[in-house]
Chain A
């Protein structure tokens, strides 16, 4: 096992799948000559050439639309949205075309494509460039939405996404690329739609994913020093959503805090809480709490931005409220 960054893990997954299957190709803005604005596809243009690493005009709808069309012919496009904020410019194709075609045409069409998009706040990019709109995309049946945190999950889930016969939105986080962790050697695949216990504990269940896993781990370390053992469930995939490990953990702890970076209203936390009420009502010993982004467009000023984003101390405070 080697310790590598999330960036390397994603890059390795892309390269391995492109080497494995000639039908896999990449299209997006600055993915080629530039090497990807987050340096994920650095060196790909030289290795695979312009046929398989395609720089596109700034035309998000055309990027996703063309990927859908190519996927219908049997290719396996990986379409990159430079950031998830620009996915709104392709919203129709992402939510109203890709996820509908297989179902609506009675199973005749297949759309085996991946949309890579990086999101998240914390870099002072202002209101239009800092969003975590994961929940919005997870609303649409027919689209798979994957948002891993660790290097191992990033690699394994991306490889599986590329081999999936359905459209997968693969959400990365701009402040996780440097996160280091062990990734199993050789072929490493992770099934889509499986939550995972990232840290065992018996006093409270923390349900989270993506960047907020990192903060939840920190909070759990701090809580452990006070004798509070938090169990952390990493959703890894928002659709399909695997409630199994969440409910199992909750039956043991009877307390739950959901930590997400996006806005609270109509968010991931709202869904998890509702499922717990529906599926584990008899095990609830305390109100289920949500830690989420304040309901404002993210401001540029560093201090204001940090005030708006969930912090480790917010997680700790929420845990103490439910204990």
Chain B
């Protein structure tokens, strides 16, 4: 990996972290409405996956989508503007935190009904297979989502039709307040792929390099026409499920322990320890990101609301 690329992964993870810290403040100030699910702690997963993609690879995920949105290339301006419901946001203010998307970046959305986007991912992959394109659809979802029927229907279909999908389970140990063993018959989620004879593996989701490597291998396997692959990334969300989560289901010590494995810290150590970057270089990146995010907050706050007429646009595709 070139140095620039290595530094850019660092920048992306820091960008996600800083954007979400601001998002939390904006939520507390009453400027972000609805539900706000933070990705803090899980940044290495989406960052590593996107680092391994080719432009023709599609991405689709659940409602915890700010990280992926930034990784695929949406700007902090666009993400924060969407959080404030502004016309300049990724979904023109109509989607909010849970519903970001950018077709231009081959990012097919944040989806808020648990598991519902998995069959859609199968369809995206079908589209590419049908047309003979070599793109792979990367579908991210939580551990909790593997307990709903949608998951099983989609994963089975992908194997039967040999669809070019990379299934990525972000096992962050909980679905809301329910720990994995309380809701899933198998705690090693990748075993669910075994039942459908889909090759699978587990990766340390706190280590961006490990995720990138695993994703690159998996993508190559799928791209060759072998059918789907299933990757389980072991990770942890440092914040509550969404803002206002009383967090009665886990102990502060547990959170603290995982925080010692901060994905940004791990990667920073990797970069500086391997002499790939100096602390000074990384600090400069951090400072630039802080500035960028401050400007983005300003941009979002100053952006206009959608016009009232926007209420009735895009209900149906308008005839050209």
Interface residues of A (CB under 8 A from B): 29-30, 33-35, 37, 55-62, 85-86, 88-89, 123-129, 294-297, 299-304, 307-308
Contacts and interface: CB of A to CB of B under 8 A. Distances in A.
B310 interface: yes
B144 A57 contact: yes
A129 B33 CA distance: 13
B147 A301 contact: no
3 tightest Cβ-Cβ pairs between the two chains A and B = A124-B33, A300-B96, A57-B147
Given A58-B145, A59-B149, A294-B311, A300 B248 contact: no
Nearest to A126: B96
B228 interface: no
Given A124-B33, A129-B35, A33 B93 contact: no
Interface in B301-318: 305-306, 308, 310-312, 315
A203 B86 CA distance: 43
Interface stretch (B109-117, B126-134, B277-285): B109-117
Given A29-B178, A33-B249, A125-B34, A58 B305 contact: no
8 contacts: A30-B176, A34-B178, A59-B147, A61-B149, A86-B113, A89-B115, A294-B311, A300-B96
A257 B99 CA distance: 36
Interface string B183-222: 1100000000000000000000000000000000000000
A58 B147 contact: yes
Size class of the contact patch on chain B: 35 or more
Interface of B: 33-35, 85-86, 91, 93-96, 98-99, 111-116, 144-145, 147-150, 175-178, 182-184, 246, 248-249, 305-306, 308, 310-312, 315
Given A57-B147, A89-B148, A296-B311, A124 B96 contact: yes
A299 B312 CA distance: 10
B34 A126 contact: yes
B310 A128 contact: no
A304 B112 contact: no
Nearest to B145: A58
A124 B34 contact: yes
A301 B91 CA distance: 10
A300 B148 contact: no
B182 A58 contact: no
A15 B86 CA distance: 44
Contacts of A308: 311
A300 B147 contact: no
Given A58-B115, A59-B148, A30 B177 contact: yes
Given A34-B177, A301-B306, 10 more contacts: A57-B147, A57-B178, A58-B183, A60-B148, A62-B149, A123-B34, A299-B93, A300-B91, A303-B306, A307-B308
A301 B35 contact: no
A126 B248 contact: no
Contacts of A56: 183
A293 B147 CA distance: 34
B311 A304 contact: yes
B176 A128 contact: no
Contacts of A128: 98-99, 111-113
A33 B178 contact: yes
Given A58-B183, A124-B33, A301 B305 contact: yes
A58 B34 contact: no
Given A123-B34, A303-B308, A57 B183 contact: yes
With a 10 A CB-CB cut-off, give which of B150, B176, B184, B308 has the most chain A CB atoms: B176
Given A59-B148, A61-B149, A299 B94 contact: yes
A118 to B, nearest CB: 14
Contacts of A33: 177-178, 248-249
Contacts of B114: 58, 86
A296 B315 contact: yes
A123 B85 CA distance: 13
Contacts of A127: 94-95, 99
A126 B175 contact: no
B113 A302 contact: no
Contacts of A296: 311-312, 315
Nearest to B85: A301
Contacts of B147: 57-59
B249 A304 contact: no
A199 B175 CA distance: 45
B85 A124 contact: yes
A303 B175 CA distance: 32
Contacts of B85: 124, 300-304
A56 B305 CA distance: 40
Contacts of B95: 126-127, 300
Given A59-B149, A126-B99, A300 B34 contact: yes
B308 A125 contact: no
Contacts of B248: 33-35
Nearest to A35: B248
